[in-house]
Amino acid sequence: MKRIGVLLTSLAGAGAERTILTLCEGLLRYNCDVTLFAIRDRVEYMPPAGIKYVCLNADTNALARQRVKSTLSPIKDEFDFFIVSSTKFFDYVPIENKVGTVHITPTAWIKSECFDWYHRPRKLARLRRKFRGKRMVALSNGIKDDLVSSLGCKEEDITVIPNPFDLEKMRQLAEAEDYSSEMPYIICVASLTARKRHDDLITSFALMQDQKHDLLLVGKGPEKERLQALAESLGVGHRVKFYGWTSNPYPLMKNAALSVLTSEAEGSPRVVIESLLLGTPVVSTDCPSGPSEILTGKFSDYLVSIGDCDAIATAMDAAVQAYPQDFSTLELDRFISTEVAKRYLELFSDGAS
């Protein structure tokens, strides 16, 4: 039995946390003994049954570093391998056989700003210190390319393993709750933050020729009031619905006419894959990185440039009218949790050899 430890920031309701929990469930199916360590006491997703859960209750990074080291040092021999989702704490995990997971393209976080010629090199230097010399799992080829080309990481230190998804559980959850709407609707499942660019989505929605759909925004965040005002100013306030956050978005996704992501940066966007697995068409920005590795072949027609609201609206109109029905060419089986867990176990064995 493999004994595996996992460190993540918290069990907050975001994509990276859902990814790690689904991976843990996949590892359980291979009879692994999994212990999950959370740095902060924030629980919106419940730990899966069968997984040991330990919260370090550290509210600051300095305290977190101390508690990661002091908690794990006495028990480090109890683990065969460790997965570090919070890469900033990688060096404080006192276990040799470990890997860090990278969930978003690192340099996508660097924004253009005044004195960019001064700030950007300093930010790149910090990222190089954070990632170089570490053994990592990148969720997409785009993330790996960024780590190698932008940050100088060694290619052999990085393995690409995609996001895991429990399709059977997703389907069960999709049927567990009923969701009906008076109007057919387009859905966006994403936190209401600037990086997700909901303003582009709402603007594009207002530009659509189709007037028969509502827009359902599932998520929470600081942008809500501004986005509500934008929708009102564009004359679509009555058709843009703010649903809020839910731990089970699958009934909403399954019954949607279309799922849209207008983000400026991702790693390997879960909502795109989840929508496709549930049979829902997807339109996405071709952001760094991930969407172009998912929407391939004829589906690449539904990849659009970031911020191009006219193109987003056109793609949304085309998608609600006619979308490719055969998803088999997308090879979605590569994302199934047991397949992903198997890839991790193979990586663990390589690391132990």
CATH code, domain with 117: 3.40.50.2000
Q: Are 128 and 151 in contact (CB under 8 A)?
A: yes
Residues 31 and 69 in one domain: yes
- What percentage of residues in the chain have a pLDDT greater than 90? 82
- What percentage of residues in the chain have a pLDDT greater than 70? 97
Residues 188 and 320 in one domain: yes
Residues 291 and 262 in one domain: yes
Residues 224 and 113 in one domain: no
The 10s digit of each residue's pLDDT in 322-347 is: 999 999 999 999 999 999 999 999 99
Q: Which residues contact 101 (CB under 8 A, 6 or more apart)?
A: 19, 20, 83, 84, 85, 87, 136, 137, 139
Residues 145 and 13 in one domain: yes
Single-letter amino acid, residue 347: L
Residues 188 and 117 in one domain: no
Q: Which residues contact 316 (CB under 8 A, 6 or more apart)?
A: 186, 204, 205, 208, 210, 258, 260, 283
pLDDT for position 43: 87
Residues 306 and 346 in one domain: no
Total domains in the chain come to: 2
Alpha-helix residue ranges (DSSP H) falling in the chain = 15-28, 61-72, 116-131, 141-149, 167-176, 198-207, 224-233, 250-254, 270-277, 291-294, 309-321, 337-352
Residues 136 and 222 in one domain: no
Cα separation of 257 and 148, whole Å? 38
Domain range holding 342? Answer: 3-165+336-352
Whether the full predicted model's pTM is greater than 0.95, yes or no, is: no
The 10s digit of each residue's pLDDT in 107-157 is: 987 766 655 767 788 889 999 999 999 999 999 999 999 999 999 999 999
Query: Cα angle vertex 180, ends 178, 184, to 5°?
Result: 140
Residue 45 binned pLDDT confidence (cut-offs 50, 70, 90) = confident
pLDDT for position 14: 75
State yes or no: pLDDT of 351 exceeds 60.
no
pLDDT for position 353: 40
Q: Which residues contact 339 (CB under 8 A, 6 or more apart)?
A: 164, 333
When the pLDDT of each residue in the chain is averaged and rounded to a whole number, the result is 93
Residues 269 and 294 in one domain: yes
Residues 200 and 297 in one domain: yes
More confident residue, 239 or 267: 239
Closest CA to 234 of 287, 309, 284: 309
Residues 66 and 108 in one domain: yes
pLDDT for position 117: 66
Residues 44 and 180 in one domain: no
Cα separation of 258 and 83, whole Å? 35
